[in-house]
Amino acid sequence: MPRPKVYVTRRIPREAMAILEAYCDCRVFAQEDTPVPREMLLAEVADVDGAFVLLTERVDDELLAAAPRLRVVANMAVGYDNIDVAACTRRGVLVTNTPGVLTETTADLTWALLMATARRIVEAQKVIERGEWRTWSPMFLTGQDVYGRTLGIIGAGRIGSAVARRARGFDMTILYHNRRPNPDLEAETGARYAGFHELLEQSDFVVVLVPLTQETHHLINEDALRRMKPSAILINASRGPVVDETALYKALTEGWIWAAGLDVWEREPIGPDHPLLALPNVVALPHIGSASIATRTRMAVVAAENLVAGVTGRRPPNLVNPEAWDRRPAAAEGADQGG
């Protein structure tokens, strides 16, 4: 049997590359650390069985049409809003993600952002860098307390639950809002389920960790922001379009809320001219939630394992669209090799 062909859209850690190369013939977009140009991507996928992609690649009908042999798309991320999963499922293309391995690392970053925003860490460093630190002063760079306050988590799945576990160490009251109550989280952390509006109105910290879907697009809009306390802090470590940035700008400049910590943006990457960066009460990060060396390596390995499983006829461990398993061309041909 010929070795499966796969396309890898960026240079990835060698541990992951070794897994791919053991089973597949690989081509890699290795020219630079930027997304592969769309036209090149469409040409590169023309003959491949599998694609290893990042959240910077859009996998849609156009790409699928350009990739008639494609059987597996392995996303190196837990979120997969860059992929039209329904379109993949219609064509029997398996889609995989990397859940689990980035949970704790992303919860750590969410907390780093929360603490930095509450205590004005970035602003404080800039004061020193500008030579503006003249003396100790009673109300100089005073921020918000974290301990003992109320944390509201919107989207308490794996990462949200890990954020809640950390909050116990700060003696916080924990509220959460999900589509469904999460009794395990309640038992483990004492978190209490709250309605969306109740959570917004009562929380000192509103942490957004929902996946981006049609329902969550601009979930944090003008109405939501107006419901928050004037002393509240918004933290977004999910996907940028969950927050309406125009409404957020108004909220921050008109004092509806106190500050925001953002790891993700409506249109990434942003540059220094982004309006929110001009505000002192914004802490801005370039989408680094899962970016520890160990975790990014594990994510690449997991994505590689998913891809190899799919292109060698096995059911990938992290299959996002199980319905596609029975629709894949191999199943139609009766060539199922197990799974």
Active site residue ranges: 239, 268, 287
- Least distance (Å) between residue 121 CB and ligand GLV: 22
Instruction: Return the amino acid letter for 73.
Output: V
- Least distance (Å) between residue 102 CB and ligand GLV: 6
Q: Which is nearer to ligand GLV, 89 or 290 (CB)?
A: 290
Asked whether position 301 contacts ligand GLV by CB under 6 A, the answer is no
The C-alpha angle 225, 229, 235, rounded to 5 degrees, equals: 60
Q: How far apart are CA 307 and CA 314, in angstroms?
A: 10
Q: Which is nearer to ligand GLV, 77 or 88 (CB)?
A: 77
Residue 201 dihedral angles phi and psi, to the nearest 5°: -75, -30
One of 290, 295, 306, 321 touching ligand GLV (CB under 6 A): 290
| Residue 305 falls in which region: left (phi positive, over 0), alpha (psi -120 to 50) or beta | alpha
Asked whether position 89 contacts ligand GLV by CB under 6 A, the answer is no
Q: Do residues 277 and 284 make contact, with C-beta atoms less than 8 angstroms apart?
A: yes
By CB under 6 A, which span of 17-25, 60-68, 72-80, 175-183 interacts with ligand GLV?
Answer: 72-80
Per-residue x/- mask for ligand GLV, residues 8 to 47, rule CB under 6 A?
Answer: ----------------------------------------
For the beta carbon of residue 128, count every other beta carbon within 10 angstroms.
9
Going across the sheet that includes 5-8, the strands are 25-28, 5-8, 50-53, 72-75, 94-96
Residues in the chain: 339
Q: How far apart are CA 110 and CA 103, in angstroms?
A: 11
Asked whether position 219 contacts ligand GLV by CB under 6 A, the answer is no
Q: Which is nearer to ligand GLV, 71 or 296 (CB)?
A: 296
Q: Which is nearer to ligand GLV, 252 or 300 (CB)?
A: 300
By CB under 6 A, which span of 35-43, 74-82, 189-197, 214-222 interacts with ligand GLV?
Answer: 74-82
By CB under 6 A, which span of 73-81, 115-123, 200-208, 324-332 interacts with ligand GLV?
Answer: 73-81
Asked whether position 209 contacts ligand GLV by CB under 6 A, the answer is no
Name every residue whose Cβ is closer than 8 Å to that of residue 237 and which is 6 or more positions away in sequence. 106, 109, 110, 113, 159, 207, 208, 209, 263, 264, 289
By CB under 6 A, which span of 75-83, 107-115, 202-210, 271-279 interacts with ligand GLV?
Answer: 75-83
One of 54, 59, 73, 78 touching ligand GLV (CB under 6 A): 78
| Residue 120 falls in which region: left (phi positive, over 0), alpha (psi -120 to 50) or beta | left
Residues of this chain that interact with ligand GLV (CB under 6 A) are 55, 77-79, 102, 289-290
